[in-house]
């Protein structure tokens, strides 16, 4: 199974890339929580950067309301800061 991760500004700077592909064993049901834990494990600066701001999570075009809901192969997890202003 492969999922994609798109990191918004300024989080991508902690990882060094704006887009990532994460491969998982085929039988595993991957959740956004698991993807976040893997990013924190593989990229030492990720967790501190993620925890210091109120990032919103989306799977494809849907807001993540439960980080434990499994994703499907090919989906994209977006980590973005809420838009402010007008």
Q: DSSP alpha helices (H): ranges in 1-86?
A: 11-15, 32-42, 46-51
- Comparing 83 with 41, the larger pLDDT belongs to 41
Three-state DSSP class for residue 51: helix
Return the pLDDT at 9. Answer: 86
Do 68 and 33 form a contact (C-beta atoms < 8 A)?
A: yes
Three-state DSSP class for residue 76: strand
Three-state DSSP class for residue 33: helix
Q: Residue 85: is its pLDDT beyond 70?
A: no
**Stretch 9-24: mean pLDDT:** 94
Each domain of the chain, given as residue ranges in start order, spans 2-80
What CATH superfamily classification does 2-80 receive?
A: Beta-grasp domain (3.10.20.30)
Q: What is the pTM of this model?
A: 0.90
pLDDT, averaged across the chain? 91
Return the pLDDT at 75. Answer: 96
Confidence class for position 86, pLDDT limits 50, 70, 90: low
In the block, tokens 């999922």 appear at: 3
């Amino acid at each position: 199974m492969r999922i994609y991760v798109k990191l918004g500004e300024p989080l991508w700077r902690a990882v060094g890339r704006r887009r990532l592909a994460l491969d998982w064993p085929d039988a595993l049901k991957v959740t956004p929580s698991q993807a976040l834990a893997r990013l924190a494990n593989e990229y030492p600066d990720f967790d501190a950067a993620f925890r210091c701001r109120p990032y919103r999570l989306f799977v494809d075009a849907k807001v993540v309301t439960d980080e434990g809901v499994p994703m499907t192969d090919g989906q994209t997890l977006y980590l973005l800061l809420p838009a402010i202003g007008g």
